[in-house]
Structure 1
Amino acid sequence: MDRRSFIQAGSASLGALTLGSTVVTADSTGRFVVDRSSLNTESDLEIVHELEPVDLLVVRATADRIDRSGAAFAPDERLSLDRYRPVSVAGVEAVDEELDLFDYQWDKHDQGILEAHEITRGEGSRVAIIDTGIATGHPDLEGQVDLELSRSFAPDQYGVGEPYGGAHGTHVAGIVAASDRAGSVVGSAPGAELVDLRVFGAALESRDRGDLPPDYWRETYMGDVMAAIVYAAEIGCDVANLSLGWTWEMRMDGWGKFWGTVHQRVGRYARRKGMVHTHASGNWGESLQFNRDETDSSETAGGITTSATGPVGFDPETGEYDEPPHSPSTYTTHGVGAIDLAAPGGKGGEFRHDNVVNAIAIPRFDEDGTYLGAEYGHAWFAGTSMAAPQVAGAGALVASENSHYTAEQVANALTRTASVPDEYEHKYYGHGYLDTVAAVRD
């Protein structure tokens, strides 16, 4: 298949533009996160995940059993990738034969990625993609993923190295580290090693949803995500990307303080091990300012909460636009003290070129749930899910150029070199708009 038909096939498979993910929660039944140090016995508990470095367990048990133990605990939270309304595109838009896909990557041009690559391409850095799974067979990601280190934390029996949970994880991985093969997309840190840490379950419904990409219906648990972060830190990742949110709107019905403690333990452990985690702020367009203290603080948990920006009227032939790439996206969550950095995530409007193009892989299953492989291509997505991996990729470049840096120093390089555009409100930016080249040179 030649490049032009490959691109068209990918666009046809998508059929719509969709914002990246946000997360909604509900108390699970039979799963709990427990402070192990306060537990008197583990003899009759089914351990799902053992987070030994932070003295936590994810277990299955009856509520009575956990309650009688006297241990500090909370019900595990089930997380669903809540689908945003698709922005329809009539028919298939062919890519101009005279242009490479890189010409459509306003995000990488804006961040000066080719200039950054003159300094480093991310060699020696390691990035965990905590998501729906990475298609390691995609031409833009071949050889980028360490399968021996990759793990599934998802509540199913499928493995890693395939887009079992949908196209989302492959798109995110491509933003971080897509190889710079001729004519295709470029990732921020193509020299970095990726680790596939799948937390979302298999996209079995995809066979019944031919009108939309098979994403945004997946489920996981908060405990799965916490276990993946701890594991990523244990294996020496420099950065872990969570394009599924970290600052969730959790219900404060008595469990909020415990979950705040869990987040802080996990985040602090990651930071001590030298790992920065980047996460999407969410796409519901509201302020996080008023619930930040009730959920998580990046100052204590060590994460970088990312909001999204994007251009209006981007023209891939001229590289011009009506509004700049650093202008805030209308859907992005925001808030003074809640956002750490803003980064390119796409505008989310009907004009697809204002969104972020990268690799996708759409999984196929038969009626019995047998995995049949994936269809590879490229597509435009928009959301804070696309902004967070821009920061992760920049972090990988900083870590590569400064192998002696601590996680704190990597994070400081990213935030110190960012600045808030004069013409826009501070609440969208935190420390400012990501400047990848400046961070690498810092």
Structure 2
Amino acid sequence: MVRHSRRDVLKLSGGLLGGIAVGATVTVAASTERFIVSEKKLKRGDLDGLSIVHEMDPVDFVVVEGTESAVQDLGVDYAPDMSMQLELPGERQDVEPSMADEPLYGLQWDKQVQDVSTCHETTRGEGARVAIIDSGVAAGHPDLQHAVNTDLSQNFTGDGYGAGVPAGGYHGTHVAGIVAANDQNEVGVAGTAPGSELVDCRVFSQGPGASFADIFAAVVYAAEINCDVANMSIGAYPVSRKGFGSFYGKVMNSIMSYARRQGTLVVVSAGNDAADLQHDGRICVEDEETGEVECFPAISVPNEASNVMSISATGPVGFGRGGDGMEEPTTTPAIYTNYGTNAIDVSAPGGNYDPTIIPDDDEVLEPGEDPLWYYDLVLNTVALPVFENMPEEEPPSGEYLGAQYTYSWVAGTSMAAPQVAGAAALVASLMDSQHANKVRNTLRRTAVDVGEKEYHGAGFLDPVAAVEDVK
């Protein structure tokens, strides 16, 4: 296998990654009319004249729309809402239509290495509830119809397309399938906790941006409705600590602490930038007027918040090619994954690849020449949204017409996080009461020590050992 530095690989094939935040093309824009406000010192009627977007009473914050001068007049702490402009993956490998009607478990190396079928002899996650805070979950997908609670599902974007639909793209449906795809319908794929209940908390619309306030509100909501787990396969890196600000840090940590106290374990993808989060880099900005350059420490959000589980990705190189083709084991750190001692809780299957064997877009392969590189990615459910207007260059718009259901191989820490969320649902289903700390500690304690702590944290996820620990 030809070796590359992780940064070289990002340059070669960054578009392949399945995480919502991919590469270093991340900008954070402040809103001029939407604000997160501390309401600890507010009285009834103080918000008259401002439009309330999200109420987050359990953590004493509220999201409002209006002029900044009106917010300033409140005399309390506040900050503009921020929209993360995130680069969605440009490539993935879809399953051929002829394969969609046949069981695909044999291609799911991620579920095989976790031995989820053995877990299902004890529990399939019955009674556990998992929030998918993402781009939308297709409740109509044949492998997810049994799992999505559409009554509890909620759209936080305000785009009018509702919930239980993949209006923000295929990503959320792929994440949801990793958690709970049906293992008993004799079609498609299997999830880790197919007996669990899913709640679609959609925070992405057709465009690439997501509001911090919408994401925060979704976490609070997940905790309020007693979700055992909230999966967040979202994030941005690098973000300036100065730009993020102490107020945002306070809001984020307060919300994650509230979720933990409510018994909701928040699982977050570590990111796909091949970055050492233990030694975060710096962001340098040139002043347009003076030409002076100022540098600030960088962070990764939200996975560097307190009270969350941060998940790195692993994967094989050579799965399905047989014999000597298995050049790297399934516990190999993925070539794109973020890492860092004390920054990662556990590692889990997210997909891997050798960029030297990925054909160019315009390369024509003869029969038998397909290197099957995509077999090293993670295979699961996908729903492709269809809108009235579907331009090639701009985000789709107009009436939402439905979705096309299929399956796809995708790679990213976005795929690793729901492996952990699914395992957490299995563990939670065996506990008498909600307790995020106990679930987290169980997953960490039973993880397999495979060395390289900076990549694996406490170890590689082992759902069988976790289930045995609590049953």
Normalised by the shorter chain, which TM-score bucket?
0.7 to 0.9
Match of 1:80? 85
Match of 2:37 among 34, 44, 58: 34
Q: Counterpart of 2:240 in 1: which secondary structure?
A: coil
Q: CA deviation at 1:54?
A: 0.3
- Please say if 1:314 is aligned against 2:324: no
- Please say if 1:434 is aligned against 2:439: no
Q: Counterpart of 2:172 in 1: which secondary structure?
A: helix
Q: TM-score, normalised by structure 2?
A: 0.81
Q: CA deviation at 1:143?
A: 2.0
Aligned residues of 1:336 and 1:427 also touching (Cα < 8 A): yes
Match of 1:333? 338
- Please say if 1:121 is aligned against 2:148: no
Aligned residues of 1:257 and 1:294 also touching (Cα < 8 A): no
Distance, in Å, in 2 between the alignment partners of 1:406 and 1:125 is: 12
CA deviation digits over 1:367-415, x for unaligned, max 9? 3611111111000000010000000000000001123351110110011
The residue correspondences of 1:384-395 to structure 2 (distance < 5 A) are: 384-395=413-424
Distance, in Å, in 2 between the alignment partners of 1:440 and 1:298 is: 25
Match of 2:218 among 214, 223, 228: 228
Q: CA deviation at 1:288?
A: 1.4
CA deviation digits over 1:174-215, x for unaligned, max 9? 0000001214200000000000111101x3xxxxxxxxxxxx
CA deviation digits over 1:330-362, x for unaligned, max 9? 111111111111110001443100000001010
Aligned CA distance change for structure 1 residues 159 and 340 (closer, same or farther; 3 Å) = same
Aligned CA distance change for structure 1 residues 295 and 261 (closer, same or farther; 3 Å) = farther
Aligned CA distance change for structure 1 residues 144 and 229 (closer, same or farther; 3 Å) = same
Q: Counterpart of 1:387 in 2: which secondary structure?
A: helix
Match of 1:10? none
Distance, in Å, in 1 between the alignment partners of 2:304 and 2:138 is: 33
- Please say if 1:243 is aligned against 2:233: yes
Match of 2:398 among 349, 362, 369: 369
- Please say if 1:280 is aligned against 2:269: yes
- Please say if 1:49 is aligned against 2:54: yes
Match of 1:213? none
Match of 1:417 among 441, 446, 461: 446
Aligned residues of 1:256 and 1:294 also touching (Cα < 8 A): no
Aligned residues of 1:21 and 1:283 also touching (Cα < 8 A): no
Aligned partner of 1:21: which letter? I
Aligned CA distance change for structure 1 residues 405 and 46 (closer, same or farther; 3 Å) = closer
Gaps of 5+ in 2: 1-14, 281-296, 359-372, 390-396
Aligned CA distance change for structure 1 residues 172 and 426 (closer, same or farther; 3 Å) = same
Q: CA deviation at 1:108?
A: 0.2
Aligned CA distance change for structure 1 residues 319 and 68 (closer, same or farther; 3 Å) = farther
- Please say if 1:218 is aligned against 2:208: yes
Q: CA deviation at 1:301?
A: 3.0
Aligned residues of 1:298 and 1:305 also touching (Cα < 8 A): yes
Q: CA deviation at 1:138?
A: 0.8
Distance, in Å, in 1 between the alignment partners of 2:86 and 2:403 is: 20
Distance, in Å, in 1 between the alignment partners of 2:17 and 2:78 is: 36
Match of 1:206? none
Aligned CA distance change for structure 1 residues 320 and 110 (closer, same or farther; 3 Å) = farther
Match of 1:185? 189
Larger radius of gyration: 2
Aligned partner of 1:439: which letter? A
The root-mean-square deviation of aligned C-alpha atoms, in Å, is 2.6
Percent identity (aligned)? 47
Distance, in Å, in 2 between the alignment partners of 1:31 and 1:47 is: 10
Q: TM-score, normalised by structure 1?
A: 0.86
The residue correspondences of 1:59-208 to structure 2 (distance < 5 A) are: 59-84=64-89, 86=91, 100-180=103-183, 181-201=185-205, 203=206
Aligned CA distance change for structure 1 residues 101 and 433 (closer, same or farther; 3 Å) = same
Match of 2:249 among 253, 256, 260: 260
Gaps of 5+ in 1: 1-15, 204-216
Distance, in Å, in 1 between the alignment partners of 2:325 and 2:420 is: 23
Aligned partner of 2:437: which letter? E
Q: Counterpart of 1:22 in 2: which secondary structure?
A: coil
Q: Counterpart of 2:426 in 1: which secondary structure?
A: helix
Q: CA deviation at 1:34?
A: 1.0
Aligned CA distance change for structure 1 residues 157 and 146 (closer, same or farther; 3 Å) = same
Q: How many residues are matched?
A: 408
Match of 1:6? none
